[in-house]
Amino acid sequence: MKIGIIGAGVAGLASAVRMACRGYDVDVYEANAYPGGKLSEIIVEDYRFDAGPSLFTMPQYVNELFAMAGVDPALHFHYQQLPVICEYFWSDGVRLSAWADKDYFAREVQEKLGVPAQNVLRVLADSERKYYLTGRTFLEKSLHRHDTWLTKDVAKAILQIPSLDLFTSMNKVHEKYLQHPKLVQLFNRYATYNGSNPYKAPGLLSIIPHFEYGIGAFYPRGGMHSITKGIYGLAKQLGVRFHFNSKVEEIKVHKGKATALRVKGETLPYDRIISNMDIFHVYKKLLPNEKQPNHILNQQKSTSALIFYWGIRQQFPALDLHNIFFSDDYKTEFDYLESGKIYKDPTVYVNITSKCTPEDAPAGCENWFTMINAPYNAGQDWDALIAEARKRIIVKLSHMLQADIGGLIECEDILDPRSIESRTASHLGALYGTSSNNRLAAFLRHPNFSHRIKNLYFCGGSVHPGGGIPLALLSARIIDELMPD
C-alpha cells in the first residue's frame, strides 16, 4: 500500500508515523525546506525561538506515536510538568501566579482577588465534567460517521445538553461563577486557544482549562521544536521518505478516486492520499475541478497573530516561561479583532524558553517570543499596523515591568499574518482555520475524509477536530481509525 502525504506539519508527521506502523510505503511532500509547519524554530543571531505554538499539553498524544512503533518514548522525547502554568499581569499592579496545583491556584485567587477558592474549584470541576462528557467523543472521533453517534457515550452527552452551555457564551459562563472581572478575563483567554472570541464562542469551550489544570501544562526539553524533531526522527526511523522543497501541484482524481499527486510536473501514483494542507487551499489549488464545499470554506476565519522575536539583554526574575499582560478592556480588544484591526491596548503574551533552556539565549539575556492576537489578513496596511503595535507593546511592557524594554532589544524578527500565510499556507494567515464562535462550529469543520472522493483523507488544524498541537495529533489518529486496512 502506497501512501502520499501532503505537508510535513505536526499532523502530517503523525500520519506518516501511523501509516508506517501499518507497514505502508509512505512519502511526505513538503513545500518548505524543513518539517514542522508552524511547529518550527527561528534563529536570530545568538537567540533561538520556537516559531509558533508555545504551550504543550496532552503529551500522551505524542507518546502514543512512539509506543505504537514499539519505541520507548522516554528514550527519545523528554518533557517536564510546569509547577506554574502562567504568570498574569494587569496594569494596576495586580499579579497572579496560575499554579498547576488547583488548590494552590484557588488559594492564590482568593488571596489576590478575594474570590472564594471554592468558586475557582467549581469552575475547574465543571470544565473536567464537560471534557469527559463530550471531549473524549467529539474530539477523538469523527463527527461525520453514523457509528460515532450510535454509542452510549454520545447518548449520555445528548441527555446532558442543557448543562453543556451550548446556548450561552463562554464569557457568560465565567461571569456567572467567577464574578471578579480579572478572573473572568483570565478564564476567557482560553477562547484564544482556537482563535475565537470569548464573548461569542459557546460556553462549552470552558472545557479548555481542564487541559492545563486537570492534565497539566508541560515543557519539552529543548523547546517546542523538539516535538517536531522527535516525530520526524521517528518517521524516518520507520522508513518514511520526506521530499522537501516539493510543492504538490494537484491531487489527481479518476472515477471518483484520488489516485496520484502531481509534484514538479510529475504524476506520482498512490493508493491513498492524506492532506495536511489548509483545507481551503486543498480545494482551491489542488482540487479546482471538484465540487467545492463552500459552506465550509466560507466560514468565519480564526484570528491570526503578530509575533516579535526579541533578544533581550537582561533577565527578569519576575517572569516565567509563560506570561500574560492583559488589556484593560478585553471586550473592546476582541471587537477590534473582529473588525480587522488591532486595539491600542492589546493583551501581550511573552514566552521565554531560556527560563527552561538557558542555551536559547546568551548568558544574562532572555529570548522573548512576544505575541498579540491579530486579525486574519484581509488586505490591511500591515506595515503601519505592525509599527504602531510595536510601539504600544513596548510602552505597555516597559510600564508594567518598570524597565526600558525598547532599549534592551538587541535583535528582532517578526512574524505577521502575511508571513504566516506564505510560510505555512494557512488561508489568510488564520492560525486555526475557522473560528469556533458558532455553537455548531465543530460540525462545520471539514471531516477527516472526503465524502465524494474515495481514498482521500484530511488532517491538521483546518479540519476536525481543530487547531493546536493536541487536536492536530488527534486528527491523524482519527484518520488511522477511519482508514480500512
Q: What angle do CA 252, 256, 259 make, to 5 degrees?
A: 35
Radius of gyration of the chain (CA): 22
pLDDT at 369: 98
Give the SS3 label for residue 276: coil
How crowded is residue 192: how many other Cβ atoms within 10 Å of its Cβ? 22
Give the pLDDT band of residue 433 (cuts 50, 70, 90).
confident
DSSP symbols for 463-476: BTT-SSHHHHHHHH
The model carries a pTM of 0.94
Distance between CA atoms of residues 450 and 122, nearest Å:
41
Identity of the amino acid at 377? N
The answer to whether 206 and 187 have CB atoms below 8 angstroms apart is yes
Which stretch of 182-196, 290-304, 415-429 has the lowest confidence by average pLDDT? 290-304
- Indicate left, alpha or beta for 329 from its phi (over 0: left) and psi (-120 to 50: alpha): beta
Nearest to 3 by CA among 21, 26, 20, 30: 26
Task: List C-alpha distances in Å: 109 to 118, 144, 209, 408, 422.
Answer: 10, 41, 15, 32, 42
Which stretch of 40-44, 59-63, 176-180, 454-458 has the lowest confidence by average pLDDT? 176-180
The answer to whether 10 and 224 have CB atoms below 8 angstroms apart is no
Identity of the amino acid at 76? H
Distance between CA atoms of residues 327 and 55, nearest Å:
21
The answer to whether 238 and 20 have CB atoms below 8 angstroms apart is yes
Nearest to 481 by CA among 25, 134, 152, 148: 148
Q: Which cell is 72 given?
A: 520507548
- Between 417 and 146, residue with greater pLDDT: 417
For the chain, the average pLDDT equals 93
Q: What is the pairing mode between strands 366-374 and 348-351?
A: antiparallel
Distance between CA atoms of residues 426 and 281, nearest Å:
8
Task: List C-alpha distances in Å: 236 to 35, 232, 242, 245, 254.
Answer: 12, 6, 8, 17, 31
3: which strand partners? 26, 272
Distance between CA atoms of residues 39 and 86, nearest Å:
21
Query: In this predicted model, what pLDDT tens digit does every residue of 293-312 receive, in sequence order?
Result: 888 888 889 999 999 999 99
Helix (H), strand (E), coil (C) string for 397-408: HHHHHCCCHHHH
Q: Which residues contact 202 (CB under 8 A, 6 or more apart)?
A: 165, 166, 167, 168, 169, 170, 436, 438, 439, 441
First vs last C-alpha separation in the chain: 9
Q: Is the pLDDT of residue 333 over 70?
A: yes
Task: List C-alpha distances in Å: 278 to 158, 197, 283.
Answer: 31, 21, 9
The answer to whether 256 and 452 have CB atoms below 8 angstroms apart is yes
Identity of the amino acid at 279? I
Kindly state the average pLDDT of the residues 29-41. 97
- Between 135 and 52, residue with greater pLDDT: 52
Nearest to 372 by CA among 189, 99, 217: 189
Instruction: Give the length of the chain.
Output: 485
Share of the chain above pLDDT 70, in %: 93
Cell numbers 457564551: residue? 169
Q: What is the DSSP letter of 386?
A: H
Q: What is the DSSP letter of 238?
A: T
pLDDT at 76: 85
Nearest to 81 by CA among 217, 194, 205, 185: 217
Q: Is the pLDDT of residue 438 over 90?
A: no
Q: What is the DSSP letter of 434?
A: B
Q: Is the pLDDT of residue 150 over 80?
A: no
pLDDT at 17: 98
Q: Is the pLDDT of residue 442 over 60?
A: no
The answer to whether 349 and 320 have CB atoms below 8 angstroms apart is no
- Between 439 and 126, residue with greater pLDDT: 126
pLDDT at 266: 97
- Residue 473 CA, distance from chain mean position: 11
The half-sphere exposure of 186 on its side-chain side, counting CA atoms within 13 A, is 26
The answer to whether 42 and 49 have CB atoms below 8 angstroms apart is yes
Helix 60-68 crosses helix 469-482 at what angle (to 10 degrees)?
Answer: 40
Q: Is the pLDDT of residue 154 over 80?
A: no
Distance between CA atoms of residues 330 and 309, nearest Å:
24
